[in-house]
Every structure is written in structure tokens, then in C-alpha cells.
Amino acid sequence: MTFISKDRPQTGNSATPSSNRHSATDTGLIFMFAGQGSQYFQMGRELYDHDDIFRHHMDRCDRLLSFDLRDVLYNDAHKGGAFDAVEWTHPALFCLGYSLAQVLIEQGYRPSGVLGHSLGEYIAATIAGMFSLEEGLELVVRQAQILKQTCAEGSMITVMESPEFYRKRPDIFFRASLGGINYDGSFFVSGLADDLQRVLAALNSASVFSVQLPVRYGFHSSAIDPAESEFRNICRSVRLSRPQIPFYSCALAGDVSRHVWDSSDEYLWRIPRGEAQFKTMVENSFPNPERYTFIDLSATATLSGFLKYGFGDRYTHHFAINQFGRNLDSMATLLSQITP
């Protein structure tokens, strides 16, 4: 793959955790990475300003891009604006999740496994060693470019109802796909922008609480099918390595399986196109919750929220940052909670 860079030298390929004071099998830590819809301008700003490890890895990622990611994210002129341009949000989410993971890894907190939801699967795959930082970041950059070139604009809506509500009310969800099930009381739908606006209006009329996500494309629906052929062609050039730690996939509703090695393009396309099955994946993969501590390394603690509201106190979970700022405090709290 030819990377889109600023003609700056590339850094090393290894994105897997280095050996520190924990082994990969004794921590019980599961690093979680969410995808589109969790982004916002200024995410991680306080860490970038004050945490040397986070800043180093954000800068490392930035050198691989054709634009100045830090200026996009941390330009004060962007505060309060809608952060939904996919050519920015795809790499921004990837770089943020990767850099947050490195903050923990370089302080000795190696994950026993990684968990990815939607775009977050590409971050998880990188941390697990399935491909390099350069390859993972290029993949999301190229996906964003292809989406912008080939797909009509779409939308995604989180609905705070049982997934059965989707099946029982085809009048509301006409031409909207079930994009994923977060937990028993939450799912999301996806599709073309005009269709989703009608869905949102119908949900409001029915007094059903819903949230339109800050995305411009209908991930996990046929709205992105025009991107399939070109993106899969790119994916065929990606050589996947076997993960060096367990890797749990919402696209596959469980552990990454053997068939992935024989059909990398099928799996890598399924991540944005297939149903994101967080609820089923958790139930299939973690039947003994007491063995694990889940660390949400996304921008808004989205997946930690899914565990909290979907599974009660069964799973121990923490987050690194959220949309309310005070990143240094939240990171310090996290480290105090998982210190051996």
C-alpha cells in the first residue's frame, strides 16, 4: 500500500505492546475502541498539551497524514462546530484511540485483549499486531476518501428502545437498516440522509428518545455499498498477521476467527458494512465477567456506557476520557482504578 504522507519519514511498524511489568495474560485488561459518532473537536486536547506520551504518538500519527491533524482537532476556531467530515474524523478517531492505548501500554498496562466496534476494529487490530500503524491508518484514510468519492450522504440514529421495536414498527423504520444492537435497550439505524430524517421525525412524533449521530455516511447499511468494490480491492493488498493477543470483533460477534486470514477483504469490508453486534459479542466472548476489566479508549466513553446501561454491574469498566474535558483528571482516575 502506498501511504498518503507529508513526505516525512515513517516511524517503525510495530504497534503491538512492548514488554513491561505485566504479561499479556495476567492483566485481565480489555482495551475497547469505538468508531464513528464518538468524535468531537478538541478531543484529547488537555492530554496533548500536558502528556508527553500521548503527544508523542499523536505527532507520530500526524506525520503519516497529508494534512495537519492537530490543527484540525485543536484549532480554537473549530470549537463548538460539527465534527463530521469523514476525511478528518476517520483518521482523528484512529489516531486518538491508538495514542490513548500507548499512554497505558508505555506505563506498563498491557492489554490481555482488545475489542473493536465499527471503525474501532481497525484500531484494535493495530494494537493486536494484525497490521502496522502505517497500514491501519492508511486503511481508514483510504476508506474515507472512497466513501466521499462514491457514496451519497447518509446518517445514523441511536434509538433508546428494545431492538424488537425496530422489527415491530416498519412504518417508522421504512428504508432504514438496523445498523447494530448496543444492548437490550439501545440500537442504531442507518441509511441515506433523507430517509433517516424521516425516521427521526417519526421517532419524535412517537415520543421515542433518539439521537442523530454526527456522521455523514450510512455506515452498516446499503448506503455505503457504492464504496465496496474499490475498498475491497485495497483490502486485498493488506496482509493480515495473526493477532498477538485475543481480538474481539463486533463485526463477527466474537473472537476474530480463522477464516479472516483467507479473506482479508471480506472481513475488512464487513467492519463498516455489517451489523455491529456489541451485545452479542460481549455475551459470546466474556461469560466470566469477573476475569476482566474493560477500558474504554474512545473519545466519549461510549462502550463503557453500553456496559453500564446494558449489563448493570456484571462487568467492571472504566474510561480514559470523555466529552466533558478534564482529561488529565480522568486519566489519573483510570490509572488509580487499574493499578495492581
Residues 33-55 pLDDT 10s: 999 999 999 999 999 999 999 99
pLDDT of residue 257: 76
pLDDT of residue 16: 40
> Residue 43 burial by CB count (10 A; 0-12/13-18/19+): exposed, middle or buried?
buried
Q: What is the mean pLDDT of residues 133-141?
A: 97
- Residue 2: pLDDT band with limits 50, 70, 90: very low
Q: What is the mean pLDDT of the chain?
A: 91
All CATH 3.30.70.250 domain ranges of the chain, comma separated, are: 154-212
Whole-angstrom distance, CA of residue 200 vs CA of residue 195: 9
pLDDT of residue 10: 39
Residue pointed to by grid coordinates 497500514: 135
**Residues 69-90 pLDDT 10s:** 999 999 998 887 889 999 999 9
Identify whether the C-beta of residue 119 lies closer than 8 Å to the C-beta of residue 272: yes
Q: Which of 296, 36, 54, 145 is nearest to 70 (CA)?
A: 54
pLDDT of residue 82: 87
**Is this prediction's pTM over 0.85?**
yes
pLDDT of residue 27: 72
Q: What is the mean pLDDT of residues 312-328?
A: 94
H helices of 40-178, in order, are: 45-50, 52-62, 69-74, 86-105, 120-127, 133-150, 163-168
- Chain-centroid distance of CA 79 in Å reads 22
> Residue 311 burial by CB count (10 A; 0-12/13-18/19+): exposed, middle or buried?
middle
All CATH 3.40.366.10 domain ranges of the chain, comma separated, are: 29-151+221-338
Q: What is the mean pLDDT of residues 200-215?
A: 97
Which DSSP state fits 114?
E
Stretch among 4-8, 118-122, 290-294 having the lowest mean pLDDT: 4-8
- Residue 21: pLDDT band with limits 50, 70, 90: very low
Q: What is the mean pLDDT of residues 188-193?
A: 98
pLDDT cut 70: percent of the chain above it: 91
The CATH code of the domain at 29-151+221-338 is: 3.40.366.10
Cell readout for 158 is 441511536
First to last CA, the chain: 41
- The values of phi and psi at residue 188, to 5°, are -135, 150
Residue pointed to by grid coordinates 441511536: 158
Whole-angstrom distance, CA of residue 124 vs CA of residue 113: 9
Q: What is the mean pLDDT of residues 246-263?
A: 86
Query: Which CATH superfamily does the domain covering 154-212 fall into?
Result: Malonyl-CoA ACP transacylase, ACP-binding (3.30.70.250)
Supply the angle between the helices 264-273 and 228-235 in degrees, to the nearest 10.
140
Amino acid at 296: D
pLDDT cut 90: percent of the chain above it: 84
The CB-side HSE value for 76 (13 A sphere, CA atoms) comes to: 0
**What does each C-alpha distance from 143 to 17, 148, 245 come to in angstroms?**
26, 9, 26
